[in-house]
Amino acid sequence: MQPVNVIAIITAKPGKRDAVLAAFKDNVPAVHAEKGCIEYNAVIDMEGIGGFQAKLGENSFAVIEKWESMDALMAHAVSDHMKAYGAKTKDMLESRTIHVLTPA
């Protein structure tokens, strides 16, 4: 079975990215402890790269995830700690786009 890759693009309301990232980081240990979690980390734009970079922007960050299986990803999506994170951050978010990907 191939791992499941996820890239989520999270855009916070103006001035709220740091608060959303703090809530995200508080939740990371619980996610890393989930069965099937291979990788789960937030990333922001790197500075000084040059003109070829397509920036996420000052209000956005990406979540890079890798799961052992689709079952593990689906269990993650409905876990109590993810429900709590969602409730805690929902009023601070502008948008959330989730891309579930497989190796080409």
What is the CATH number for 95? 3.30.70.100
Q: What is the pLDDT of residues 11-21, one digit of tens each?
A: 999 999 999 99
10 by Cβ neighbours in 10 Å (0-12 / 13-18 / 19+) ranks as buried
Domain containing residue 91? 4-46+55-101
Q: What is the pLDDT of residues 21-80, one digit of tens each?
A: 999 999 999 999 999 999 999 999 998 887 888 999 999 999 999 999 999 999 999 999
Distance CA 103, CA 72 (A): 17
Phi and psi angles of residue 103, each rounded to the nearest 5 degrees, phi first: -55, 140
Phi and psi angles of residue 22, each rounded to the nearest 5 degrees, phi first: -65, -45
Distance CA 26, CA 97 (A): 21
Instruction: Give the count of domains, the chain.
Output: 1
Residue 50's pLDDT is 77
The whole-model pTM stands at 0.91
